[in-house]
Structures are given as structure tokens and as C-alpha cells.
Chain A
Amino acid sequence: MSEISKLTIGSIREGLLSRRFSATEIAQQALAFAESENPKTNAYLRLCPERALAAAAKVDAAIAAGEEIGLLAGVPVAVKDVILTKGVITTCASRILEHYNPPYDATAIERLEAAGGVIIGKTNCDEFAMGSSNENSAFGAVRNPVALDRVPGGSSGGSAAVVAQGTAVVSLGSDTGGSIRQPASFCGVVGVTPTYGRVSRYGLSAFASSLDHIGPFARNVRDAATLLEVMAGRDPMDSTSAAAPVPRYAASMTGDVRGMRVGVPVEYMAHATGETAALIHGAIDTLRQLGCDVVDVSLPSTDYAVAAYYVLCTAEASSNLARYDGVRYTTRSEEAGSLISMYQHSRGEGFGPEVKRRIMLGTYVLSHGYYDAYYLKAQKVRALVARDFTQAFGKLDAIVAPVSPFPAFKIGEKVDDPVAMYLSDIYTITGSLAGIPCMSVPCGLTSQGLPVGLQILCDHFREPEMFRLAHAFESAVTLRTS
């Protein structure tokens, strides 16, 4: 039963078309494997066998009828529980949505199922995607499948864990300040945050709307690119979704990155220490050997990015989460006397500590007398961070950097220090603020066997260049370690 954990989108397609197995068999095996493995990690909040088997049966019927099959035909997909799935409970890992049954599917979900994808379950995460360790879930922390006493990263920890564990072939996460790249790095898988607006946010529960993205996890660059390709493109239901045409990403993965101009931010490397820094330096050497033209680059506003990000994301969150008021969504406090006390108690009982902390911060920075000093100032600093990248990409094709200052840490190790937890997002936040595509690709293991990811960042809509570099790098690393 180890076959599921080795499958790729390509090998499933080949197996289906050669009738070596059926989509139904794959779905059944994936569901059974997920069920038996999940007690180790708590990565799934629920499986959805009915929906999975119905989707698989459609693929099998299409093959039997000799019809064309979609790019994701028969591929077991796991979905972060902040993305709406019609008829499948979607909790955002929060008590306040414990019984929420969405009346519609997210656009990303519709598209991946239209391409033959088979959704097998919903994955655990930090409550409302707020966190960097997946310890903020109302339904228990997720354990890292690589080292079970450690966090898988966050907030999309469950989605990274199931791909690393092999119970899903690919998965969907969401990224606001690093919530795809950091868990991908911690679990040793590929995670992609596309250009802001590349994938529709319709049906993604809103955390910070100007920063939220849906993106893929996979065990290799090609699979991540295929999943992104299926989901990407203009959606009339999201006015911020981009009309730019979606390229065939596979065509860009030529293996040839000679002459690519790659920048290494001096401000990032000044912070980097220990084994993480050594692995990133090793990765940079590999890029040089592949023929990239590697140079130093300065991103001078970096030091202020974390402060700007946490002002903006909490401000947007405090507004977005006002909708959870005990009226429309599932849970209402028993303490409901007056209307206001019903709001206050429903929210007080329904939200966990980190969500409350962010609602409070966001409310404060938007409150009378503080708006200019915090919110407006942070928007200006965001413009400076974005300008750093625009200037850098005038001379560069890509930037490479660490994803996180350290590999996966122990469960409980940082849970009582929110400031330290926020500061650890430094390398991922800058790209999020600029809205550029960025990804984490595995670059090696520490002496304790913990994965470390290399981050690749490119200019808006330059996903093809990003995948070209990531794919060439991945091939070189695989060759060296196999």
C-alpha cells in the first residue's frame, strides 16, 4: 500500500490510460491510507469518501467511453479547510464554524474537479489561517510527518503534511504571509504562492483580502505547476482575479537555466545563520553550477516588512472576521441576552487566542487617532517593499532566499511568544506584500534530518521563469542525492 505515496500526476495518468488501475481504485487506496495514517499527524480534519468516489467514477466512465481526460484525472487532492466545498463541512479550524456546511464550491475547487481531480479530504490548519506552526487549530495541532514531535509549519500545515506523508498526491493551501512556503519548507515538499490574483479567491474564507492567495503543494515542481495551471485564470466572481492568459507551465521546464540572472538579497543573508544558511549557500552554488549568473541584490526596506505586514493583515482580518457574529454562521453563544452581548459572547467563545489577538490588534490600528501612524504608514512601507522588488527585477530574472530562519521546531517551543513567531515570517512576508509569485523547493536536510526549502521569487506573472529555475534546481538536487 505504499504505491499511493509514490504516485505523481503523470504516473496516475499513465496508469489510468494503460488500464493498470482505475481512478476508483486509486481513490479507495488513498482514502484507506489517509484513514490509517492520520492518527499519527492529525493532518486531516475530515475525509469525504462520497465526493471522492463520485469524482473518480466520472473519470473511469470517461476513460471507458474513450473520452479525453483532464489534466488532473484521478489525482487524489487534499484541500485546506479554509476553502469552501459544497456539502462538505468547512471549519477554518475554528469552533465558530464547527458545523458550517458551505452552500457553494470555491472556483478553485470547481476547476480542479472539472479537470478530473478527486478531492479526498479537508486538511487541518491554523484557525482562519492565522499562525506559523499549525498549533492554533481548534481541533488540535498537526505533527510533522518527517519528525512527529515537531510542527509542520503553518498556517497550511495539514496540506503540507499530507503531501509529505503521501496520503494525497497534491493539495491546496492558502498563503497570506508565508502560509504555503513555510510549511512546504518544514515538510520537505514543493509549495507555490502564485502572483496575487492569479487564482480566484472566490470561496476562500477571507483573512486579509489584499494578501490572500490559493496555491498548490506537491512532491515535485511539475505537479505543483500543473495544479496551478488548472486553477489559474480570470473568474468573474473575483474582481481582483487577473485576466492575463495562463501559460502551459510544463513548456517552460526545459532544464536549461544558463544565463539566468539570479539575485541573493544581502539583507536576508545577513540574518541567516546555522545549518539553514549553509544549505542555502549550497543551493546558491548549485545554481551557479547550472549556469545561472548569481549576484548580490539589496532590498533595503526588508527590516520594516514584518511590522507593516502585521499592521495590514490584522487590520484587514478585524474587518473580514466581523461577519462571524452568531447570526449567520452556525454557532451562537448561550449567553445571548441583548443583540450586542450575543455578538460579544458568540465571538468570545468561538474564536481562539491567536484570532482574538489579531482582531484586537487590527481593531486598535484602525481605531480613531491611530489610523495614520499604523495603517496608512504600513501601506506606505508596503509600497517601498514592492518598489524594492520592482527595481531588483529590472536587472534580475529571479531572487533566491531562505524560506524560514530555522527548520521545523518542536511543538510547544514558541507557542507562548507571539512576537518571536511573527518575526520568523521575515523571509516570506516581503514577497506577499509585493504580490509576486514565490515558492519553496526542497534544498536539503539538516544533520537532524529536517528539511529546508529554497525560496524562489520572480516578478508578477513570471511563474514560467520561476518553475524553470525550480525544476532545474530540483533535478540537480535529486541527481546529487540519489
Chain B
Amino acid sequence: MNLTEKEVRYVAGLANLSLSEDELARMVHDLGGILSQMDRLAEIDTTGVEPMAQVLYDAGDDTATLREDVERTPLGSDAAVANAAISASGYFKVPLVIERQE
């Protein structure tokens, strides 16, 4: 399957990814080539096959269960924001999200 430049721009928008014009042209070419390989999936008969979302094995009842609901101390907001580009008073700071109507 070949993608148009318009489609690539649309997908980049969904992915919140800015691409330069050069990157865009390269992406049209690369994604087309890779999707052509992926299109081979249509050749194999999967009638009646259940999709496999996770590795499945019989490993006893304790696997893939939730842990006990025990109270414990979390990292804390100071540690959580320590790596943020901009933070203040234990919060992440971002550009204005909601414009106030006057």
C-alpha cells in the first residue's frame, strides 16, 4: 500500500509529531515500502483464529492477578515532577490549555 503525502500528514497529526518537509517525503517512501510487506498478511487464512493480544501459558493461578490492595507510600509529587521541563509547586506547567471567554 502506498500512502499519499496528505495521508502521512494526517497520521503525523494523530501522532502529535511535527515532521520537516524532507522527513515527510522520506516517510511517504519508507511507509509505502514497509506497508507493502505488511499487506502480505492478507494472504494467510485466519478463519476461526482467536486474536492473540498477550502471551498465554498455563503457569498456575497466581499469574496475571492483581497484587494485594495494601496501602503504601507513593513516590510523591516532588520526585514525580523532578524530571519535568517546567514545574512549580509540585505541578507540571504547560502552555495555556483553555482560553477564557470574556
Residues of A bordering B, CB below 8 Å? 99-101, 103-104, 195-197, 210, 234, 236-237, 239-244, 301, 303-304, 306-308, 310-311, 318, 322, 325-332, 336-345, 347-349, 351, 353, 356-357, 359-361, 363-365, 367, 373-374, 376-384, 386, 418-419, 422-423, 434-435, 460-461
Contact = CB atoms under 8 A, between A and B. Distances in A.
B65 to A, nearest CB: 7
A328 B38 contact: no
Nearest to B19: A348
A313 to B, nearest CB: 12
Contacts of A380: 46, 49-52
Contact of A104 (B18, B67, B75): B75
11 contacts: A327-B92, A329-B83, A338-B96, A339-B97, A351-B17, A353-B26, A360-B8, A361-B31, A378-B41, A384-B49, A419-B34
**Residue of B20, B27, B44 most packed against chain A (CB within 10 A):** B44
Contact of A344 (B17, B38, B52): B17
B90 interface: no
Given A339-B97, A383-B50, A461-B59, A422 B15 contact: no
B19 A240 contact: no
B42 A384 contact: no
Contacts of A377: 41-42, 46
A381 B44 contact: yes
B2 to A, nearest CB: 12
Contacts of B50: 380, 383
B37 interface: yes
A338 B18 CA distance: 13
Interface string B56-68: 1101101111111
Contacts of A241: 63
B27 A360 contact: yes
B80 interface: yes
A103 B19 contact: no
B25 interface: no
Given A328-B84, A377-B42, A310 B59 contact: no
Nearest to A434: B55
A56 to B, nearest CB: 27
B17 A364 contact: no
A360 B85 contact: no
B88 interface: no
Interface majority SS on A: helix, strand, loop or mixed? helix
9 closest residue pairs by CB, A with B: A435-B55, A348-B18, A243-B62, A379-B51, A332-B85, A236-B67, A380-B46, A383-B52, A196-B55
B55 A336 contact: no
A380 B43 CA distance: 13
Given A103-B75, A338-B95, A380-B49, A364 B65 contact: no
A307 B40 contact: yes
Q: Using C-beta atoms within 8 Å of the partner chain, give the interface range for chain B.
A: 35 or more
Q: Which of B46, B68, B81 has the most CB of A within 10 A?
A: B46
Given A382-B52, A383-B52, A360 B12 contact: yes
B63 A242 contact: yes
Interface of B: 3, 8, 11-12, 14-20, 23, 26-27, 30-31, 33-35, 37-44, 46, 49-57, 59-60, 62-68, 75, 79-86, 92, 94-97
Pick from A99, A325, A344 the residue with the most CB of B within 10 Å: A344
A371 to B, nearest CB: 11
Nearest to B93: A327
Nearest to B79: A103
B66 A386 contact: no
B14 A197 contact: no
Contact of B41 (A326, A340, A344, A374): A374
A302 to B, nearest CB: 11
B33 A304 contact: no
A356 B19 contact: yes
A340 B55 contact: no
A451 to B, nearest CB: 29
Contacts of B37: 306-307, 310, 419, 422-423
B19 A422 contact: no
B66 A239 contact: yes
A386 B60 contact: no
A307 to B, nearest CB: 5
A272 B80 CA distance: 49
Nearest to B68: A236
B28 to A, nearest CB: 10
Contacts of A435: 55-57
Given A243-B63, A345-B18, A101 B82 contact: yes
A318 B15 CA distance: 8
B19 to A, nearest CB: 6
Nearest to B46: A380
A239 B33 contact: no
Contacts of A361: 31, 34-35
A244 B63 CA distance: 8
A240 B79 contact: no
B31 to A, nearest CB: 6
A331 B95 contact: no
A331 B85 CA distance: 6
